[in-house]
Structure formats: C-alpha cells, structure tokens
Structure 1
C-alpha cells in the first residue's frame, strides 16, 4: 500500500488518565475538554512567545486521546510534553506501530468496524479528506479490503490549504499566520495555554501581516519546507510544505507570505503563482 504513512513521517501517541483532557486543554490552542469520543481536532502547540512548535491532529477515543505528531519533531515534543505533566495523572504511550491512510472525502469509515480492529477513523469537518489511524497491519488490511482510493496526506493537505509544521519551520509563525483561526484551530474563548496572551493580542489588537497561501510552479525544481520565497529580489516568505502533482508534473505548495506582496514570486529561481484557497479568509 503506497499511500499509508511511512514510519518517519508521523508519530502517534496515546494520552490517557484522569487528567489527560485538562492537561491537553492547558497546552493546545483548542477546547479539548468539550471533545467527545470520535471528535477530531486540528490544533497548535505553541511556545511562550506564541510561535507554533507543531501542529497536532488529535482524536478522542473514549477515555484516551490519540495524537498525530510530525515525525521529525516527535522526540523533542514528547520530552517537552513529559516536562509539563509534573504530578498530573497522565499516561503517555507512544504507538510506534501505528500508521494512517488517507483518501478524498466522500466515504466515511464505519466506526464500529474500525474499533473492532483497534483503529479510529474520521472525515475532517471541512470535508477535505478522510483518514483512518491504527496498527499498520490493520490499516493496510482494512484499506485493501475496502478498495480505498488512497492519496498521500501531503497532497490532500496542500490542496485544501491546510498547514503542517516540520523542523525547518517550527517556531517561526503564530497560529494566525498559518490560517489556523480560519480552520477551527484556535479557540479564543478558552483559558491559558503557552503563548495564549500573544496569540490573543494579535487577534484583537494587532494586524495580520503574514498568512498562509497556496502556490504552484511549472518549474522542474523540488522545494522544501523553509525555502525562502523572494519578490523583487527581497525575501517575502517561506515554503511551508511542497509536493509534486504526478498528473501534470506541477509543483504545488503551501507558503507563508506577506499579505501586501503583489510582485511576481520566485523560490530557488522557480517562478511561483498564487492559487486560490478553498475556504474564506478575511485578508
């Protein structure tokens, strides 16, 4: 199965215990305590300055939470997580044999059938795509039996204009610069979490000068997260995530750019073209 996640792309972690919901609620940018079993959230884990260390996808599965972390950041994030647990009743259990599979939205998996195989599944609220998570053998077997039209998550994510943070861009951007406030990834009504005051100040008193865009290029170049984007010979942003469309051999990416940039864009001498986001924005 070529489109399930590889062992280095993501790491899955289970958090359980009497204080798990309260602990995560105090660390992440969304309301965790209101989640019921089967709910999925896209959220950010910020540092004290309100910069996004990582985007976390999490599902509530009965009394535990399953988190999907970027593979290259997982080790450091887990150390940081354990540092904040202190005396809280929280059990952290890495799930090294877990993988996931993704396909375009439209076919939602049966929750009972998945649970029987120790898996979880969901369709993202904005219907960008559907995922199943679980032990690798179970994911492969279930996807094959159901003849799923699998696609790499990065392709689906970039097409949807959704952010994902890996090592080269960790700690560079506040949640609003990644459009998370337009994607349900920030709850401004909830209490304190690391960087909350800075994030709230930008929302209510500041002006958003950078945000996430989709870009594409016909050039034969491979762009990477963190690559600088230029306009008129000056840096105006960075690539967040990039992939190549096999159908037309075009490169497409998400990028954080200044909101006032109107000049032609380039990255590593490749011309970039902005593409419309499939969701409304205020800028």
Structure 2
C-alpha cells in the first residue's frame, strides 16, 4: 500500500492494535456548549466535537477504486484483503483549482456493524450485500451536492453507485489529545471496526507527540459511541473551529473557496493531501508543475486582529472579550502605512483570531524564493472594509507561522544561473 509522500504515515498495525482497558469508575464526562456565547470558547488540549456542518457521500461499485483514483490528489490503493487506511485528500478542477477538501474512508473488506450487531450500517452506507469496494467521502455540507454532481459528471460508464447520505443516518466527529497520537478508541478499548470508522487526522501537529486529531464516522442513533468515551469532554463545533484557526488548518468552502484557489496556496500539500508520485488525475498537470518548478508565494496562515492604536501582538492568542466586529470574508490586507498592492485577504475567524491568505515573504519571515523575505521586524498590516452606512473600518492584522507548518514547507529552490 502506498501512502501519501508528504503526510505522516500511520501504519495499519498501529491503527488496529488492541487498546488498554480502563476502569468503569472514571468520572462522568462533562458536556460543554458555547454556541450561543462565543466569549466562553476555549481551545482545550483534549476533547471532542460533533461536526454538524459535514456530510457524507457513499461511493460503491467494482470500478470505485479506479474511478476515485482519477479524481483525487491522494493515491488510492488497488483492492486487497487489507483495506487502505482512511486519508485526507482533495478534488480539483481541470485547471488545477481546488474544488473540495475531503476525508476518504475505504470500505474494502469486512463491513462495520451497528452497535447491536444488526445490518443497519451496511444499509445506511449504500452497500447491498455484495463483496465490492466502496468509499465514504466526508465533505463540507455546503458543497456536498456540488461534489455529488462533479462525481456524476465523471461517472460515464463506470460501474459505481453514488448517494449523499442523510444527516439522520451518520455523524462525523473529531477527537483530539495533544499529549498523545493514540486514537481515542484505543484509549477506551473500543475497536473502530465494530461501531465506527476512524481516520488519523494528520493535517497538523500541535506538538511532537500528537496529530491534529482523530476523525470518526458513526451511525446516527440515540447514543453515539463517541459519547461513550468517559472522561472526554464534548465541545461545541465552534471550539473545534477555534482549534483549527490557532493551528492554521483551513476546512470547508468558506475558507477553501470552490474553484477560487490552488491546492498549494490552501496548504493541501503540507497537510498531507497530495501524493506527488501518483499518475494522472483531474488537475494534476498544474499541481505537479507548481511542486517541482513553481514558487508558492501565498499560503493560508493563522492571523490575529488587533487595534492599530495599540501594540502589535507577539504571540497568537485568542481573546474571548474581543468586542470589535470582524471584517467580511474576502476583505483585503495591505501594509498599515500605505495603500499599495494587496498582501492577502481575510478568510474568516472567531473574535480576534482567524485565517488569512497571506504573501509569505511580505507578512512573515518565510523565504520562498532565492531573493528571500522582504518582511522585517516592525512591519505592520491592516485589513480594511466598508461597514454599514458607508463608514470605513479597519484593524491591524498579524500573521503567524506555526512550527508544524515551518517544518513541512518545502526548501527554497536555488536560482538557476543562466550562462
């Protein structure tokens, strides 16, 4: 089985090893919700969130591996008795622009059973009882219909069946433990094959000991198996979004606008979503050319807003008391002391932190070309927009480069000398 060349590899043996048993006397898990009061949001070091904005597409049929291999940026292994581990990937347009970021769960081999051992799982997934390969595709719910249309457009005579699963059928969860990379189900002795589908989420590394998190697809029911993880606090989805913003992990159509950016600019490459060794797929030509000969001058970075009359932040910190209204999505970022060319744009956030598409050499100490970074200590930037009533608003904005991102960015290509 081939793994994506740019993402941390987690072998099947590690993903399937038996977990430790835990005492049943652990304290009852507390559930925290902050959706109606963002001032109470925080980014805890461990927890779980129900990702209600995600939807799932089922893809089944004898031609499913070949069909999917020609459409996504990650490598799809041929059918075998051992299923390929779930992985992060993306769909591109023919021009190489990003359409959707997705998690793909191969369903080759034994099908998972529901909690009471009946056949609800296979029925819900679209599996009709035949031993054939299949996949579940976890995608932003706002663009699920568009992705389904994209898949049907390329189906032609391929022997595959497609269905958008209803929200009442399955749920998508994310769990995280910043002190360990062990999957959550192993901590609580719950084999994923029996009750849930598990994907190691290696898009970022909060520390040398951990992955960004672990993703699960579970059957919708009165009691999700994720809620059986005693001593694991459930947080609102906004807390999960805050965690993403602080680590610089974009997700979904709001931050990764459909047909509006390229995979390298969106960090799909350094988040492990592209296998640069695989063969042809839709959008490959420009992606490969950018990887080997191009220079990626803009990337999505975590950013922090601040008052221009105050001091510039030196560390990325979430302020739950921040009361300023935020800029609209797409608001332009420029130098604070000029009205020159755009240095980037605001992509969204919560209170004073969020994500921005930034020019690396201008807004951070990152060199992407032989010329080196033009940024210097003391450079300040602002994001301006026109508020209601025609009044112009503006705030200072500071970009940060997390350590995991620095470690994964490709080295600067030396300038070629022309004789």
TM-score where L is the length of structure 2: 0.59
SS, match of residue 181 in structure 1: coil
Number of the residue aligned with 1:206: 294
Higher deviation after alignment, 230-239 or 88-97: 230-239
Equivalents in 2 of 1:149, 1:122: separation in Å? 20
Number of the residue aligned with 1:95: 165
Contact 2:299 2:360 in 1 (8 A): yes
- Alignment gaps of 5+ in structure 2: 1-30, 34-48, 109-132, 206-210, 307-321, 363-374, 386-393, 413-419
Number of the residue aligned with 1:229: 333
1:163: Cα distance to partner? 2.4
Contact 2:331 2:345 in 1 (8 A): yes
- Residues 1:193 and 2:281 aligned together: yes
Contact 1:102 1:130 in 2 (8 A): yes
Contact 2:87 2:199 in 1 (8 A): no
1:66: Cα distance to partner? 1.2
Contact 1:166 1:225 in 2 (8 A): no
For the structure 1 residues 227 and 24, does the alpha-carbon distance in structure 2 shift closer, same or farther, using more than 3 Å as the test?
A: farther
- Residues 1:271 and 2:396 aligned together: yes
Higher deviation after alignment, 156-165 or 77-86: 156-165
Higher deviation after alignment, 232-241 or 127-136: 232-241
Equivalents in 2 of 1:75, 1:221: separation in Å? 32
Write out aligned runs for 1:64-79 (5 A).
64-79=134-149
SS, match of residue 110 in structure 1: helix
Write out aligned runs for 1:130-279 (5 A).
130-137=214-221, 140-147=223-230, 148-151=232-235, 152=237, 153-166=240-253, 169-218=257-306, 220-223=324-327, 225-231=329-335, 232-233=338-339, 234-244=341-351, 251-261=352-362, 262=375, 263-267=379-383, 268=385, 269-279=394-404
**In angstroms, what is the RMSD of aligned CA positions?**
2.5
1:197: Cα distance to partner? 0.7
Contact 2:198 2:216 in 1 (8 A): yes
Encode CA deviations 1:240-263: one digit per residue, 9 max, x unaligned.
34234xxxxxx3222211122244
Encode CA deviations 1:98-141: one digit per residue, 9 max, x unaligned.
22222223452438644333x21233235111222122326x53
Encode CA deviations 1:160-205: one digit per residue, 9 max, x unaligned.
3222241572212111111222222111111111221111111122
SS, match of residue 130 in structure 1: strand
Equivalents in 1 of 2:64, 2:399: separation in Å? 41
Equivalents in 2 of 1:56, 1:241: separation in Å? 20
For the structure 1 residues 167 and 276, does the alpha-carbon distance in structure 2 shift closer, same or farther, using more than 3 Å as the test?
A: closer
- Structure with the bigger percentage of strand: 1
For the structure 1 residues 68 and 257, does the alpha-carbon distance in structure 2 shift closer, same or farther, using more than 3 Å as the test?
A: same
- The count of corresponding residues between Structure 1 and Structure 2 is 273
TM-score where L is the length of structure 1: 0.85
Which of residues 171, 176, 182 in structure 2 aligns to 1:104? 176
1:5: Cα distance to partner? 2.1
SS, match of residue 224 in structure 2: helix
Equivalents in 1 of 2:212, 2:328: separation in Å? 23
